Amino acid sequence: MIYNKFGQKDWETSILGMGCMRLPVFDEESKNIDEKRAIEMIRHAIDNGINYIDTAWPYHGGNSEGLVGKALQDGYRKKVKLATKLPVWKVENIEDCEYYLDQQLERLQTDHINLYLLHALSEDRWETCKNINIMEWMEEKKAEGKINNIGFSFHDDYDLFEEIIDFYDWDFCQIQYNYLDTEFQAGKKGLKYANDKDIAVVVMEPLRGGTLAQTPPKEVKDILEQSSNDRNAVEWSLQWLWNQEEIDVVLSGMSTMKQLKENIELASQADQNQLNEKEMEIISEARDKFLDIFPVACTGCNYCVPCPEGVAIPNLFELYNEAKIYDRYEVNKKRYLNFFDESALADNCIECGQCEEACPQSLDIIDHLKDVSAYFVESTTPPESN
């Protein structure tokens, strides 16, 4: 495993972090973590050099932190830097902050959290944080030893990112970043801005919810094959990130032991100069082509579910994206019509907007669901792909 100095700290973190939002589950139900396999994976990660473990209050329907707490018993806690996040959308006052932190310490079976983040900051959530003087409270918790480093994760526009960065002397931040999302949210500009301020940067969604882990569509694959080096989709995506010196940790939400072992192997061979100038140009061309044909920028984070009407939002978007990108209209139409409960289908949406408020990608989910329904139900022949 290769390690980076974490920002301006006097300690190092593995360049690959273990994200605990996509642990193995039973029956494709996010709340039902396969505890045995998940603990085995987390401990295998640590045994093989990963020392950054990331979780959060809402992951796996609220069950991720408790699982991580179990996995870090038997001496594993002292081997890692543990990160979790305050669910700021649930916070109205400092008493709420106290409640959630105390609950998280109990769930995680620890007396301190190494890296504590304000979770998924957006404009309205940031206003709440400022109104209740949350940074003063965070400083108090740091002085008490309950948290060691203060950071935030981010899902909004660049201008707000810069405002938040300038507001406080942060230890670190966490941003969505991959070779498709260079101009999305904080983006490349935010990465460099944080780095220039000596703030450590942790990257989430390096594979864009698994999209960049799949064999790319032919148009993209043909571009990547211009390189003389034979890399699979995951290697292209992760090495593109590790090529950038501003990034301290790349978080990957791995769901299987196979994925974990593959990523550990890649992290052990990574190099900031492994992709040459020509290959960086190839990635840029591949990005442009991917964005041309990509219909819904859903990462499958599941923040939008459960839908009050039972619509299976991320599953439907995955089916839709796959059908359009990989020309699988007939197969996926059958899956749409036969393998989902009627309540889970797109036309069951009542346009309440709850999903759009929760979506960190700020997707127009209601409109996209209408597109899904039109694509699979209303059309009798395959619509033209993007």
145-174 pLDDT, tens digit each: 999 999 999 988 999 999 999 999 999 999
Between CA 359 and CA 356 the distance in angstroms is 5
Interval 167-204: pLDDT, tens: 999 999 999 999 999 988 999 999 999 999 999 999 99
Evaluate if residue 132 carries a pLDDT over 80. yes
pLDDT score at 248: 97
Interval 326-335: pLDDT, tens: 778 888 888 8
Buried b (16+ CB within 10 A) or exposed e, 115-133: bbbbbbbbeebbebbeebe
pLDDT score at 91: 96
Interval 20-75: pLDDT, tens: 999 999 988 889 999 999 999 999 999 999 999 999 999 999 999 999 999 999 99
Nearest C-alpha neighbor of 244 from the set 223, 283, 271, 217: 271
Between CA 13 and CA 132 the distance in angstroms is 32
Evaluate if residue 85 carries a pLDDT over 70. yes
SS3 97: helix
CA atoms within 13 A of residue 52's CA, in its CB half-sphere: 28
Residues annotated as part of the active site:
59
